[in-house]
Amino acid sequence: MNNISKIRERLERGALCFGTHCSTTDADFYEMCGLLGYDYIWIDNEHAGMTQPMIKNAIIATNGGGCAAFVRVPDHEMAHIKPVIECGPDGVIFPMVNTAEEAAKCVSICTYPPRGIRGFGPLRAIDYGMKNFDEYVATVDKSFLKIMQCEHVEAVKNLDEILEVPGVDAIICGPMDLSASAGKLGRFADPVMRELMQVIIDKCKAHHKPFGLSFGGVDMDLIKFWIEQGASLLSLGTPQDYFREMSKDIVRQAREIEAQRP
């Protein structure tokens, strides 16, 4: 079973797919994440400004570690999406999808005519030409997830219509931007934020679509809320977060030991 098949199987039975975020140039991190037990890696090109070779190498290294590779693209423009999907990711994450029209545009860019506008030029996506052409065309729409981010109050308002767009596979809440749009920046426990997040969860359940959360930091109360609500996709932290938290703990322990010496 390949990486995307494993993810789809877990989503279909409502199991949790757990991931982390990464945008480093070092391929070791991506490969190691699969060996550590993550289900997928969120390769972030919205904020990090990764180059195309960095993205391709990150996908290859992630898959090499036995992990699914999801790439967040910077926007909804074909010029930024097309080169990514030719590299054969297991998922593409579209930020700030606020309307059904925006969701339909994102799906269309990922879909060959006549149902979409994707140009034909797969590279790694067709195993560099080693995959049978007819087999590739027949299975390409299921070869990667199209994931829309709900991270604005407008998106919450329009979520029923977004979920009805054919080809939308899952919804991911971006709590930081969502809280900013609600005037509650970083206040995830605020009743307004809890209500917005609950609306996202309830609407996804009503449409039988997988849903989840992406949070760049470490907030276990927030994570607990989403897991208890049945989230199927959950990404937490970055290499910088883990390095920071572990380093703080190690430095503290070393200083405590130092204070005990004669």
Residues annotated catalytic, as ranges: 47
Encode pLDDT of 156-205 as tens digits.
999 999 999 999 999 999 999 999 999 999 999 999 999 999 999 999 99
Instruction: Please check whether residue 56 is in contact with residue 87, taking contact to mean a CB–CB distance below 8 angstroms.
Output: yes
Write the pLDDT tens digit of every residue in 137-156. Answer: 999 999 999 999 999 999 99
How far apart, in whole angstroms, are the C-alpha atoms of residue 81 and residue 168?
16
* Whole-prediction pTM: 0.94
Spell out, as residue ranges, where the chain has pLDDT lower than 70. Answer: 1
Q: Are 40 and 17 in contact (CB under 8 A)?
A: yes
Burial class (CB in 10 A: 0-12, 13-18, 19+), 260: exposed
User: DSSP secondary structure string, 79-111?
Assistant: HHHHHHHTT--SEEEES---SHHHHHHHHHHTS
Domain with 78, as residue range(s), is 3-260
CATH number reported for the structural domain that contains residue 205 in this entry: 3.20.20.60
Total domain count for the chain?
1
Whole-number pLDDT of residue 170: 98
Q: Are 6 and 90 in contact (CB under 8 A)?
A: no
The answer to whether the beta carbons of residues 151 and 162 sit under 8 Å apart is no
